[in-house]
Structure 1
Amino acid sequence: MNAPLPASRPAPLTAPRAGAAASRTDAARRIDASARLRGAGPLGDLADFPDWFAEHARRAYTRVERVGLDELDGWVSDPATGDLGHHTGRFFTVHGLAVEHPDAAVPRWTQPIILQPEIGVLGLLVSRIGGVLHALVQAKVEPGNANGLQISPTVQATRSNYTRVHQGRAVPYLEHFLDAHRRPGVLADVRQSEQGSWFYRKRNRNMVVELPEPIEAGEGYRWLTVGQIHELLGREDTVNMDSRTVLSCLPFTGPAPESDDDPDPFRRALRRSGDPAAGSLHTMEEILGWITHRRTGEDLATRRIPLDDLTGWTREKDRIRHEGGAFFEVIGVRVEAGGREVRQWSQPMIEPVGQGVIAFLARRVEGVLHVLVGARVEPGFTDEVELGPTVQCVPESYTGLPEGSLPPFLDVVLGAAPAAVRYDTVLSEEGGRFHRALNRYLVVEAPDGLDTTSPAHRWMTLHQLSDLLRHSHYVNVQARSLIACLHSLYHAG
């Protein structure tokens, strides 16, 4: 007879790491010091940036040709469903989605959507150079970029790319991120969603890893201060979406309020908004309760359907389009590229119809800036609801919808007086899957007396949003871009 097994003992609890909060505060101070250096830093200024960028654009290029969906090399249409997929079964698939949302302006619809279940890496390496924190960025070209070349994180790769399904070159610097959990210096490491209207439950790992010593910048890479990246973020369509989402995850705060002598009350309020010690209209417990209430109260149902079973959509030789000419199209492209892991490939892409408007309304409350966030429902979200900007829409897509369908506060944003507009730049979305997806990003001070009472909106500070960004699936990618834009105003002239 076997002897009885000894009773198992629970493992001892691990005590919270001493100094974790202090470490995050120290990192935030170093990031703020780097953000102040918008001009000359230890490695110089941005005077030569246009020449460096233009030189790399000559080497890293894309030639994109529209082709028929049935002419995509390596892609097949499933004969039973019409779904578009790669012959390896990797990368991504375009299939159909049926959506029921009784509280929406249109309670039922079908649409194409991208399924890409693998989790990619969006990683930024940082290190101190001359005592100042710098970030290693790359000039990267994507077939969907309207501007061609853009500033990207150190690593921007899907699992199919970095496992080299395409049999291309290895991804530089990837090793610093794949085993980052085993080493110190991780400033941010969190899975975040991407566009929930075009991706089905897509997530990427957003990471910032600090190296004890800087490493050599390879061809097409460059060390920049945070302030210099912020300077570039003010230039139209220069800093890509993946850089913006990673930047938003940085622990960020401004100088102590008592030492802040900035003459601009907006910037003073903005920096106080990033201070965890600053007050807020709602406590974090109230915000979390509101998010839970919105998530449990939404009656949203989605189910996968064949691409051939879409209603209201027409499949033509070179595209899948909505019969009303709105929303977006699925197109096919053949790409020839320089400076990439692979020289040639074909793929489907989503091309939006019209330029979007992405905006935060902002308001100073007792000297602390608050932004009006919206609880957004999108069919591709993992948890149905994520916090988004005040306004997030493509106005052209609302043509023909029932009266009153336009998003609230859109008229306030578009009709704002010039002095109330604190940020206004056209930026593009992810250029690997979306073709020329341009949005106008704005931060607008709300006019006095504006009624913002809404069950789907709440005023929040930047430090509250930063707390949520330490966790997955709370803040959507458009809001994360706007948070990076707001950070770029901390020390703007």
Structure 2
Amino acid sequence: MPDLQHSLLAWIAEVVERDAGQVEEIALSQSSAWSLREGALRHETGRYFNVVGLEWVKAGEIRQAPFIEQREVGTLGLIARPGRSGLDFLMHAKAEPGNVGGVQLAPTCQATASNADRVHGGTPPPFSREFLGAKEGILADSLQSEQGSRFLGKRNRNVLLLAPDWEDDPGPLHRWISFAVLRDLLAQDFLVNTDARSVLCTSDWPTLAGRAPFPGEDRFSRELCASFHAPVRSGVLEEVFSALERARAASPAPRPVPVDAMAGFGFDLESQPVMSDGAVAVRQIRVRSRTREVAEWDQPILDLAAPQLLDLPCRRQEGLLLFGYRPCWEPGLLAGAELAPGSAGTLDGTVRLEVRQSDEGGRFHRDIATYRVLDLGTAEPEEGMLWLTLAEVHALMPRGVFNNEARSATSLLLSLA
């Protein structure tokens, strides 16, 4: 296995060299495609996405922030075929301007509707046609949200497609990777991107592995196995949906505000960044890439000043391992509220798993989030948190109730599956 991992890392390094990616920050006035129109940053075609302003009231305080408005449903498609043990996956070594390291492992196809329609005038995203109207061989298919703290109303179709007779040589940017290898990579920093984690999480875990998951002999793996095979408890799933409805009912109603007139944000067409309040900035970048559909483009990108720490806590109740999620309202969620990781670094416990991610490198500028699975032992449950077995998490995953951060945190558990 170490030799296979070394080979994959060498391949990614080759793609980085082939891509020869360059990212240059420019002023918005230097862009020929993007401009400030009707209070938002918009592309000349009216496609891709807009950068808009939102305002809402929380805890009696008026809050404003820039959001990426991208109402198109994108495609996150992963092609799989039967392997020696479980499935093999056709992974894309994809360059994104906001990725730490430049290139990370992505699903076979990661495409916005605008790119699939070739609005950019370049080639279509790799393998995007395979997922258009596909009906046979679909192992998983669900709509899932993007980060509701920075995207407005954005969802992606997460698809796992079985193609038993797929070609062995898919080209220099794609490679077949077995689940046995891929699961180990899920615990490595800046390697498997957020979108690939989402597709894996929302698929059937025993199908991915070709066996019952969590076969390890250590105590934590045995607890994971027991939690996964435990019967779904009566009323638990209903309580999840009820808790989310309560969170939605109590949530504020965001309203649009002009992006160039937001309190606390400077805005300047001639400067870099375009706007910032010290905590979040909108930058305009020019990108050059030899492995993407077009060789050069420019775009806005969001940049958080501080890294994030997101913990998925676990605890034991009557000997059964449970995982803590919190109903969370976010301004950009189409559903209003979804389940988030239970803690933002506020609890004390034993770190079982940890990984650093640069989330959504196509829209966020090297924004680093650290995801951890935090073992609280037998601690008493925190108020407002929902405690679920892995069987219950697995049953809920395809139903679009976990936010992007919750799916990324949960994907860490698949490194032991």
Normalising by the smaller structure, the TM-score range is: over 0.9
The CA deviation string for residues 87-146 of structure 1, in whole angstroms up to 9 with x for no partner, is 010101111111123xx3x63212211111111100000001346420100101000112
* Partner of residue 444 from structure 1, selected from 364, 369, 374: 374
TM-fit CA distance, 1:73: 3.0
The CA deviation string for residues 267-315 of structure 1, in whole angstroms up to 9 with x for no partner, is 111122222x43559622232222223222x131111121122112111
Rg larger in structure: 1
- Indicate how the Cα distance of structure 1 residues 141 and 261 shifts in structure 2: closer, same or farther if over 3 A, else same: closer
Specify the SS of the correspondent of 1:122: strand
Q: What is the letter of the counterpart of residue 166 of structure 1?
A: H
Indicate the structure with greater strand content: 2
Where do 1:450-461 residues align within 5 Å? 450-455=379-384, 457-461=385-389
Distance 1:486 1:248 in 2: 9
Distance 2:377 2:85 in 1: 42
Instruction: State the TM-score, normalized to the length of structure 2.
Output: 0.93
Q: What is the letter of the counterpart of residue 43 of structure 2?
A: H
Specify the SS of the correspondent of 1:372: strand
Distance 1:256 1:294 in 2: 35
Where do 1:327-366 residues align within 5 Å? 328-366=280-318
Specify the SS of the correspondent of 1:175: helix
Instruction: State the TM-score, normalized to the length of structure 1.
Output: 0.79
Q: Is the 8 A contact 1:313 1:320 kept in 2?
A: no
TM-fit CA distance, 1:462: 2.1
The CA deviation string for residues 142-197 of structure 1, in whole angstroms up to 9 with x for no partner, is 001121110010000101111100011122222221112x32x2111111110111
Distance 1:214 1:132 in 2: 16
What runs of 5+ residues in structure 2 fail to find an aligned partner? none
* Partner of residue 69 from structure 1, selected from 11, 19, 28: 28
Aligned residues: 411
Q: For residue 6 of structure 1, what is the aligned residue in structure 2?
A: none
The CA deviation string for residues 218-256 of structure 1, in whole angstroms up to 9 with x for no partner, is 221111111211111222101111111111111114866
Specify the SS of the correspondent of 2:131: helix
The CA deviation string for residues 413-452 of structure 1, in whole angstroms up to 9 with x for no partner, is 4xx4xxx21111211100101000111110010144x343
Q: Is the 8 A contact 1:99 1:302 kept in 2?
A: yes
Distance 1:95 1:236 in 2: 31
Q: For residue 352 of structure 2, what is the aligned residue in structure 1?
A: 422
Q: Is the 8 A contact 2:354 2:371 kept in 1?
A: yes
- Indicate how the Cα distance of structure 1 residues 138 and 446 shifts in structure 2: closer, same or farther if over 3 A, else same: same
* Partner of residue 481 from structure 1, selected from 391, 398, 408: 408
- Indicate how the Cα distance of structure 1 residues 320 and 460 shifts in structure 2: closer, same or farther if over 3 A, else same: farther
Where do 1:214-253 residues align within 5 Å? 214-216=166-168, 217-253=170-206
CA RMSD of aligned residues (A): 2.1
What runs of 5+ residues in structure 1 fail to find an aligned partner? 1-38, 393-409
Distance 2:240 2:156 in 1: 25
Q: Is the 8 A contact 2:78 2:159 kept in 1?
A: yes
Q: For residue 80 of structure 2, what is the aligned residue in structure 1?
A: 126
Q: What is the letter of the counterpart of residue 300 of structure 1?
A: P
Distance 2:332 2:215 in 1: 45
The CA deviation string for residues 342-361 of structure 1, in whole angstroms up to 9 with x for no partner, is 10000000001111001111
Distance 2:130 2:215 in 1: 39
Q: For residue 399 of structure 2, what is the aligned residue in structure 1?
A: 471
Q: For residue 265 of structure 2, what is the aligned residue in structure 1?
A: 313
